[in-house]
Amino acid sequence: MVQDTLYSLGGFLDFLVYFGLGIVLMGMFWKVYILLTPHDEMALVRENNVAASVALSGALIGFALPMASAITHSQTLFDCVVWGLIAFVMQVLTFVVMRFALPHLSERIAKGEVAAAVLTAALSISVGLINASAMTYW
């Protein structure tokens, strides 16, 4: 029993490294996403703007899904970083494309228009799922 527990905990250091990498990349994504949006996401969330919270949450989930796939399928830590950065870029591009497809998206979210935020979140999560699935080929 003790030997099994010690064997199981043998991967704890790897867990910490990959978990830490995921959290660092998530933090970087969060920061870049907030800087990319013309509106102040965090100020809006603090003001109880549901639309801003929904849009930001969708973007974070949309990034976390392929990041989880990168952690699961990568062969090395470097491999994980590369695919994590690809996920990062794909989510940023998703928001950029949405801004062109939905005129005044930022202003609509800042005004609390939930419909625009839900669509933004759904597209972010959908792209994240496709991104995550595409990372399983290797």
| Of 70, 61, 38, 32, residue with least CA distance to 122 | 61
| Of 116, 66, 74, residue with least CA distance to 91 | 66
99 vs 5, which has greater pLDDT?
99
Q: Rounded CA gap, 82 and 74, in Å?
A: 9
Q: Which whole number is the average pLDDT over 81-106?
A: 93
Is 65 within a domain?
A: yes
How many independent structural domains does the chain possess? 1
Is 95 within a domain?
A: yes
Is 11 within a domain?
A: no
Is 89 within a domain?
A: yes
pTM to 2 decimals? Answer: 0.90
* pLDDT beyond 90 at 10: no
Structural contact between residues 128 and 63, judged by C-beta atoms closer than 8 angstroms: yes
Is 6 within a domain?
A: no
Is 122 within a domain?
A: yes
Containing structural domain, residue 121: 18-134
